[in-house]
A and B are shown apart, each in its own frame.
Chain A
Amino acid sequence: MERNNHLPRQVALMRQSLFDQGYLDEQFVQLEELQDDANPNFVEEVVTLYYRDSARLVASIEQALDKSPLDFNKLDSYMHQFKGSSSSIGGRKVKAECSQFREYCRTGNGEGCIRTFQQVKREYATLRKKLEAYFQLARQAGPREAASRST
């Protein structure tokens, strides 16, 4: 298969747009720093792990939001964990929505929680799609491109 010489640039542009549009923050760069020749897919592994592991938290929060009255302590506890993982992968928008959710927990605003959780899920899903596309393109470009950053 002929190598597309434009791919590395496309990968770099896609990557940059994720930062420019606020989907990712500096933590993602930190993850990239942990990649090397022996661990070229570390970032993708962590992100995959994140989506797999946080699925149960999303489900738990969903369940908890169905209860009446709402248990804000429990909701906050779940969201604390979810926010933590989201933060660890550099998911900036997801993290911001999580913070908002926790604010509503703190003030006992159930309506706000329910509304914000829809935002959380939306950002969570959007980030997943964008990262999947990015990782796929990066893999096509070649392992060196996937592991390196454009600074």
Chain B
Amino acid sequence: MGTAAEPRFHVLAVDDSLVDRKLIERLLKISSYQVTTVDSGSKALEFLGSRGNDDRSSSDPLPSVSPNDHQGVEVNLIITDYCMPGMTGFDLLKKIKESSSLRDIPVVIMSSENVPSRITRCLEEGAEEFLLKPVRLSDVNKLRPHIMRTKKLENPKQESREESEGHGEIRSQPPPCQHELETQQGQHHQSQQQIQPHQQQKSSNNNKRKAIDVEEGLSPDRTRTRYSGVATF
């Protein structure tokens, strides 16, 4: 590994829509993240279970991960659609927060529907952000602070390896994906965004700019570095 090269942050994107997966993948790659996309919550958990996040040495590298990982690539952020068949994004969020090995990974929810109670529920459950679809580059720029904050707090060693799946709390059901009574349809994306106590429109200046390594599928001499933070090498 070169001294100047920093590993890129790895984002796991979960969405059952093929078009949206392509879109989020491009948004993330253009923002210099390493990206893995899956089409369901259960596949996301499967992927997370075999990654370096739970401190096991991964003996079975998944084909979708870059061959560069030696120790198992960790996931630095999970971005998931809310409405998915089977396990919703909310279900996935809950499972992640209930897992001692996964709960420190920041989770961001995306939804095409602006339902205040849904947003509140997700934030209460521990989501860092709630993004309205279609997601745009300015939204992706909001992700970095969450990754950086988690990076600073995280312990290099995981204290406990056990996965606590027990959940005795009874919560009222989050709003379902269909027939939302509170749906505010047809409103413009820009004026809504999400209900956040803190909204960071720009990446802060002390964010490290990832070295532009060879990205998957892109040529090394990619000329475009728009929407990037401060470029430091």
Which chain A residues lie closer than 8 Å to B23 at the CB level? Answer: 31, 46, 88
Contact between B224 and A42 (Cβ–Cβ < 8 Å)? no
Given contacts A37-B222, A99-B185, contact A77 B20 (CB under 8 A): no
| Complex Cα–Cα for A42 and B26 (A) | 9
Task: Say whether A80 faces chain B, with CB atoms less than 8 Å apart.
Answer: yes
Question: 21 interchain pairs (CB within 8 A)?
Answer: A27-B134, A30-B136, A31-B23, A34-B26, A34-B30, A34-B137, A37-B223, A38-B224, A39-B26, A42-B26, A45-B22, A46-B23, A49-B19, A50-B19, A53-B18, A53-B19, A54-B19, A80-B178, A84-B19, A85-B19, A87-B112
- Taking a contact as CB atoms under 8 Å apart, the answer to whether A88 and B20 are in contact is yes
B residues bordering A, Cβ < 8 Å?
16-20, 22-23, 26-27, 30, 83, 112, 133-134, 136-137, 177-179, 185-186, 189, 218-219, 222-224, 226
C-alpha spacing A49/B22, complex, angstroms:
9
Is there a chain B Cβ closer than 8 Å to A73's Cβ? yes
Find the B residue at minimum CB distance from A47: B19
B20 near A84 (CB under 8 angstroms)? yes
Q: Point out the residues of chain B lying under 8 angstroms from A49, CB to CB.
A: 18-19, 22
Judging by beta carbons under 8 Å apart, are B133 and A87 in contact? yes
Residue among A26, A34, A39, A84 facing the most chain B CB atoms (10 A cut-off)? A84
Known interface pairs A37-B224, A106-B179. Does A84 touch B17 (Cβ–Cβ under 8 Å)? yes
- Given A49-B22, A80-B178, answer yes or no on A85-B17 (Cβ-Cβ < 8 Å): yes
Q: How large is the interface on A (under 10, 10 to 19, 20 to 34, 35 or more residues)?
A: 20 to 34
B19 with A46: CB separation less than 8 A:
yes
CA distance A88 to B189 in the complex (A): 12
The distance in angstroms between the C-alpha atoms of A30 and B30, with both chains bound, is 13
- Secondary structure class of chain A's binding surface, majority of residues: helix
Additional A-B contacts beyond A34-B26, A85-B19, A87-B112 (18; CB < 8 A)? A30-B137, A34-B30, A36-B223, A37-B222, A38-B218, A38-B219, A38-B223, A38-B224, A46-B19, A46-B22, A76-B178, A77-B178, A80-B177, A80-B178, A84-B112, A87-B133, A89-B19, A102-B185
> In this assembly, does A81 line the interface, its C-beta being within 8 Å of a C-beta of chain B?
yes
| Total contacts A-B at CB 8 Å | 77
A33 at the interface (CB under 8 A from B): yes
Within 44-79 of A, Cβ neighbours of B (below 8 Å) are at: 45-46, 49-50, 53-54, 73, 76-77
Specify the chain B residue showing the minimal Cβ separation from A105: B179
A83 at the interface (CB under 8 A from B): yes
Inside 8 A of B20's CB, which chain A residues have their CB?
84-85, 88
Top 3 A-B pairs, shortest CB-CB distance = A36-B224, A85-B19, A88-B134
- CB of B30 within 8 A of CB of A87, answer no
In the assembly, what is the distance between CA of A99 and CA of B184, in Å? Answer: 11
Complex Cα spacing A99 to B186, Å: 8
B134 and A36 contacting across the interface, CB-CB below 8 Å: no
